[in-house]
Structure 1
């Protein structure tokens, strides 16, 4: 059988051809590999460089590889946070002519970490809760689109900083399936699997001395089920309001936005006697600020990052002489937004040395600078400006300290040192 590469983009096969497909993955020489933290997997997984990209390579049976590749492409089309599928490689043979397992290749998610790397030193209970909140939101988003995961766990998730919170990404879709709509039983099965898996994973960390003493694995496993139910209820419940209280509908929509979800459309019915309105929101996944930032600037960022950047953009626009909201003679928001990118965003990010921002995306760097400016301004009781914030941010980062002192470090670890 000849080597065959099925890829999502025409440039991928050429870059992938240079990898040593005739060698079992666990024996690949170091010259092809990239040293990145790996989570626990039932399969052999390695990170490798393919052209200008870093990819994750997983050995798995051909049927499973092709199926997962298709599911990840479907999730990508539905804008669900998951790793990007790159290719499936089949027809591998070793030097002895014996067949080797096919592989599934996905793109490495820049700035992400598996949960075990985040627990290398003891993580505070509040941060553990935020990780589980991020996973609960991911599970709700999957269920809203009709995706039954089948194996929800910390091991099958990657986490990335999203401003002051975390964003969770599905990394293993091997057991998943997509249907028009999930039944309550299918959703409850996923929740129960998540509860059991997460409790077990936290117990494993506890046995290894990597879990904060105040974190109860069983209670935190149940917490994700409780958080899921709270989110699902808020997103799907039907509300009945008096006819004269239409502002209650606006309040409900605002609450959904605060949870990170948008309302695509509304189903409203008046009661037969005309004294009440039944309101059922049609909810889509998170992304209101993401889409607004993308529309205005062309920048793609996490939701909380986008919210932070938009706040700065709107404040900056208000200070421009040629912008007056609603004035047809003034500059359009899109024009001013691109000017902000050119005159504010890019110069600010580039002022941070490359080695200090290599592990973060540019939106996260800018967000941290905005947070640091706020922190310094609070201390000084006046706006210190971005230049002063950049200078202090770089000074602290170069000294090996948290660049934004009021923010928790990326791993949120507690140390016993001075």
Structure 2
């Protein structure tokens, strides 16, 4: 914890001999995670809306009910949100806990309290900006993502399932409180606002239904706003019908993860089938409960021991790459194909760990390194490689043979990537009126 005290600048015409005036005293207290900047050079004695600092940057942002500014330290960006101290401290703790549970949320870095300049100021919550993230309105601007409706609904429903499995009641689920990242052609959703959230040991059916009702209402309204403000929505995006699908997709996934399964004593293979299906959906199970009831067996999965991120963890263990779930699945498939190629070439078995290392060094890293610096902000590395694999497939289909990764990389970097929208744009923040910083 860093606690800083200091005196603000004397007002024009004030005598230095008179000493600092009481209203010019600057006091703040910062509680921050280790390994992060101290943020001590920021003007904490001023309301966020009045800040003028070389560290301020402008990035794609969602709609906020509070003042939010963004600052840069080296290659890292941070979001600063001004709100009452009690709420800021509570949200900081909730985000930390969700992050510890491996739920997809923004990383809470610190919270600044006891801010006092000329007056008592609200606290500031500091979170790490999610690189290559997209506010939902950005998804509808420019070239629309293929099959956007399905990807958007699946991502939001999947996030709600993961939150509920940890016992978290959101209370304010909306597109505005969510950021999206590309995930091997699909989307991954991240919670960015936990002000109204509550952590429980386990959620009741009523709590889950209430969260879904809130989500449906908010999403319908937000899509109506986009429809009115951005020259309409794609034809398949009827706001009410689209929002009504969230509970349906949520329930299908939640049931697939948690439902009880009944089978006969000679059908124990269905346990392995169920666990494999959960892995395909991206979940791991720490333990199962099997009940014998006469000639029936009942398989139960406690939601508290079902953990998302199966493919992410496996890829991380093999390569050290920390990516989205669908990206991990795609990269693992490419590692498996490369392993088969190595075994054909050598005529012998190749351990998975060896194949993964060689794939990383010989295939993945050179492909990413081939992107010139001026194009590096277009896509994050894992999504870039996924698109290279897609491009290789299309070129190979046209050529009637596999053209190889190197040729695909050259073609992709020369012909496709330059036309791709930049999703990591950071520019100097223009002067803004306080109301422009509010949602």
TM-score, structure 2 normalization: 0.84
CA gap 1:399/1:333 in 2 versus in 1, 3 angstroms: closer
Shift of 1:48: 1.1
Within the alignment, does 1:276 sit opposite 2:296 as a pair? yes
CA gap 1:11/1:55 in 2 versus in 1, 3 angstroms: closer
Shift of 1:319: 2.7
Shift of 1:335: 3.5
CA gap 1:265/1:39 in 2 versus in 1, 3 angstroms: same
Tell me if structure 2 keeps the 8 A contact 1:146–1:182: yes
After the TM superposition, which residues 61-100 of structure 1 pair with which residues of structure 2 at under 5 Å, given as runs? 61-94=84-117, 97-100=118-121
Q: Distance in 1 between matches of 2:172 and 2:418?
A: 42
Shift of 1:122: 7.7
After the TM superposition, which residues 37-56 of structure 1 pair with which residues of structure 2 at under 5 Å, given as runs? 37-56=60-79
Shift of 1:344: 1.9
CA gap 1:120/1:336 in 2 versus in 1, 3 angstroms: closer
Aligned length: 396
Report the RMSD for the aligned CA atoms in angstroms: 2.5
Shift of 1:307: 1.1
Give 1:139's match in structure 2, choosing from 155, 160, 171.
Answer: 160
Within the alignment, does 1:5 sit opposite 2:24 as a pair? no
CA gap 1:381/1:264 in 2 versus in 1, 3 angstroms: farther
Within the alignment, does 1:192 sit opposite 2:247 as a pair? no
Give 2:384's match in structure 1, choosing from 365, 387, 390.
Answer: 365
Tell me if structure 1 keeps the 8 A contact 2:109–2:126: yes
Could you list the per-position Cα deviations for residues 105-151 of structure 1 after superposition, in whole angstroms to 9, with x for gaps in the alignment? 00000110111122234847931231121010000000001001010
Could you list the per-position Cα deviations for residues 280-330 of structure 1 after superposition, in whole angstroms to 9, with x for gaps in the alignment? 2345232111111111111111111111111111222223359999x9xx6
Could you list the per-position Cα deviations for residues 18-45 of structure 1 after superposition, in whole angstroms to 9, with x for gaps in the alignment? 2222222112226322121111111001
Unaligned runs of 5+ in 2: 1-25, 425-439
**Residue of structure 1 equivalent to 2:369:** 350
**Residue of structure 2 equivalent to 1:295:** 317
Within the alignment, does 1:236 sit opposite 2:258 as a pair? yes
Tell me if structure 2 keeps the 8 A contact 1:69–1:104: yes
Q: Distance in 1 between matches of 2:260 and 2:237?
A: 35
Secondary structure of the corresponding residue to residue 319 of structure 1: helix
Tell me if structure 2 keeps the 8 A contact 1:119–1:210: no
More displaced stretch, 245-254 vs 16-25: 245-254
Structure whose CA Rg is larger: 2
Tell me if structure 2 keeps the 8 A contact 1:25–1:46: yes
TM-score, structure 1 normalization: 0.88
Q: Distance in 1 between matches of 2:144 and 2:338?
A: 37
Give 2:171's match in structure 1, choosing from 150, 175, 195.
Answer: 150
Give 2:336's match in structure 1, choosing from 281, 300, 314.
Answer: 314
Tell me if structure 2 keeps the 8 A contact 1:120–1:210: no
Give 1:304's match in structure 2, choosing from 326, 330, 333.
Answer: 326
More displaced stretch, 60-69 vs 360-369: 360-369
CA gap 1:234/1:321 in 2 versus in 1, 3 angstroms: closer
Q: Distance in 2 between matches of 1:157 and 1:402?
A: 21
Shift of 1:248: 3.0
Tell me if structure 1 keeps the 8 A contact 2:171–2:211: yes
Give 1:126's match in structure 2, choosing from 144, 147, 152.
Answer: 147
Q: Distance in 2 between matches of 1:380 and 1:397?
A: 18
CA gap 1:402/1:48 in 2 versus in 1, 3 angstroms: closer
More displaced stretch, 350-359 vs 313-322: 313-322
**Residue of structure 2 equivalent to 1:217:** 239
Q: Distance in 1 between matches of 2:361 and 2:114?
A: 48
Tell me if structure 1 keeps the 8 A contact 2:139–2:145: no
**Which 4+ residue blocks in structure 1 deviate beyond 4 angstroms?**
121-125, 321-325
CA gap 1:399/1:335 in 2 versus in 1, 3 angstroms: closer
